[in-house]
């Protein structure tokens, strides 16, 4: 049964144009072609990336955070309470008003104290500023190196300047050593991102990030064993062109360098919109959708590859919406922050905290809330 499924999966009519077989892509006469078995190395390389990342964050990113004076916010810890902790872990981190009142009776705390406990407990679970900085520093380093390496791989190739060259002679296009390593390193990195996503900083677009990583891994893998290597290198370099700018903006944001962060963000927004919403759909996707049909009839692999490109493009539109929202804040003079991040929740004022501990004032009236000032820990 396994052999039958294996045969169906690798059926040439799925992945290759008509009248071509896998035998046409066997190495001969000094020409080397991409093979699906080459991708096995990316899994151990992904775990190697995780080790390198740990060492980088410990011995490079952490000292750099100290030099940039990345400061942690002082967080008040929630007082140990078995009743509230059990509800927090098993039911919800954001109880409704009726649940707060019920927990107040069970725990012996006031409603205000229960609300404060949940705010502090949620803040405890939020990633620290140092963790965010270290992640951004690691990704910035990789994306910058990957972009430089990618440009070195493709800038001297004819298909970089004439997209019709991408399909010239396809699929009988031999693989270059530089293309091999570019693919293996990029795919290994995205595997490592997928492996570490559960422990990385969770943002509001967590599900979209998973979809992006999976779609990217599928696209890179398919483009490899279907010999879409020329198109694949262009797409990877295009994506890396803006990612390192975003990560550098995050680093300066965490370090408190607001003006530098905002300036880099504007550059990132421009590069992102130009590359992801203009060049990718109107040049690269036009290249993968239109030009192949001049050479061979459409087949499953053609549809599959372009469908995954549409998935990626949909995510780009979603992220472009978030970027434009942040750009609007910058233009109106507000501080630019990551729309995908959860904001730190603030406690009540010290006056309220004391009132919650000591009960109402002696005149029998509760203290008035000062709504004109931001509440801080």
What HEC string does 248-284 produce?
HHHHHHHCCCHHHHHHHHHHHHHHHHHHHHHHHHHHH
Average pLDDT, the chain: 83
pLDDT in tens, 265-274: 999 999 999 9
Distance between CA 371 and CA 117 in Å, rounded? 21
Task: In whole angstroms, give the CA distance from residue 320 to residue 269.
Answer: 8
For CATH 1.10.10.60, the residue range(s) in the chain are 82-125
168 vs 231: CA distance, rounded Å: 12
Instruction: Say if residues 319 and 336 touch (Cβ distance below 8 Å).
Output: no
Share of the chain above pLDDT 70, in %: 86
What does the angle CA 147 – CA 148 – CA 152 come to, to the nearest 5 degrees? 115
pLDDT number for residue 337: 54
* pTM (2 d.p.): 0.78
pLDDT (tens digit, 9 = 90+) per residue, 13-54? 788 888 788 887 888 877 888 888 899 999 999 999 999 999
pLDDT at 109 over 70: yes
Integer Cα distance of 36 and 34 in angstroms: 7
* pLDDT one-digit tens code per residue, 125-138: 777 889 999 999 99
What whole-number distance in Å separates Cα of residue 192 and Cα of residue 48?
9
Helix axes 258-274, 229-254, angle to 10 degrees: 160
175: closest CA among 305, 16, 35?
Answer: 35
The per-residue pLDDT for range 225-257, each reduced to its tens digit, is 888 999 999 999 999 999 999 999 999 999 989
pLDDT one-digit tens code per residue, 324-354: 888 777 666 655 555 555 555 555 433 344 4
pLDDT-derived band at 181 (thresholds 50, 70, 90) equals very high
Question: What CATH topology corresponds to 82-125?
Answer: Arc Repressor Mutant, subunit A (1.10.10)
């Amino acid at each position: 049964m396994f052999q039958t499924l294996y045969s169906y999966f690798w059926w040439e009519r799925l992945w290759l144009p008509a009248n071509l077989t896998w035998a046409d892509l066997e190495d001969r006469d000094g020409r080397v072609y991409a093979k699906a078995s080459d991708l096995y190395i990316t899994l151990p390389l992904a775990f190697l990336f995780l080790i390198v990342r740990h060492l980088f964050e410990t011995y490079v990113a952490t000292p750099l955070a100290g030099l940039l004076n990345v400061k942690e916010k002082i967080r008040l810890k929630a007082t140990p309470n078995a009743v509230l902790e059990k509800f927090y872990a098993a039911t919800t981190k954001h109880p409704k008003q009726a649940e707060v009142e019920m927990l107040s009776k069970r725990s012996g705390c006031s409603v205000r104290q229960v609300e404060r406990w949940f705010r502090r407990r949620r803040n405890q679970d939020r990633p620290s500023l140092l963790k965010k900085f270290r992640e951004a520093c690691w990704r910035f380093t990789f994306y910058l190196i990957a972009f430089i390496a990618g440009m070195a791989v493709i800038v001297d190739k004819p298909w970089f300047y004439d997209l019709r060259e991408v399909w010239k002679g396809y699929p009988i296009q031999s693989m270059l050593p530089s293309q091999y390593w570019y693919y293996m390193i990029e795919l290994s990195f995205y595997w490592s991102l997928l492996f570490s996503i559960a422990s990385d900083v969770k943002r509001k677009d967590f599900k979209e990030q998973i979809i992006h990583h999976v779609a990217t891994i599928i696209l890179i893998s398919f483009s490899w064993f279907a010999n879409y290597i020329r198109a694949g290198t262009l797409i990877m370099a295009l994506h890396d062109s803006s990612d390192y700018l975003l990560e550098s903006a995050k680093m300066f944001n965490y370090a408190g360098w607001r003006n530098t962060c905002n300036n880099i963000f504007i550059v990132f927004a421009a590069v992102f919109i130009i590359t992801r919403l203009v060049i990718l759909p109107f040049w690269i996707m036009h290249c993968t959708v239109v030009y192949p049909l001049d050479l061979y009839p459409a087949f499953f692999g053609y549809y599959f590859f372009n469908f995954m490109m549409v998935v990626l493009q949909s995510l780009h539109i979603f992220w472009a919406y978030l970027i434009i929202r942040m750009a609007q804040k910058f233009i109106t003079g507000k501080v630019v922050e990551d729309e995908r991040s959860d904001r730190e929740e603030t406690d009540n004022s010290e006056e309220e905290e004391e009132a919650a501990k000591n009960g109402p004032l002696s005149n029998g009236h509760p203290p008035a809330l000062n709504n004109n000032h931001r509440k801080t820990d």
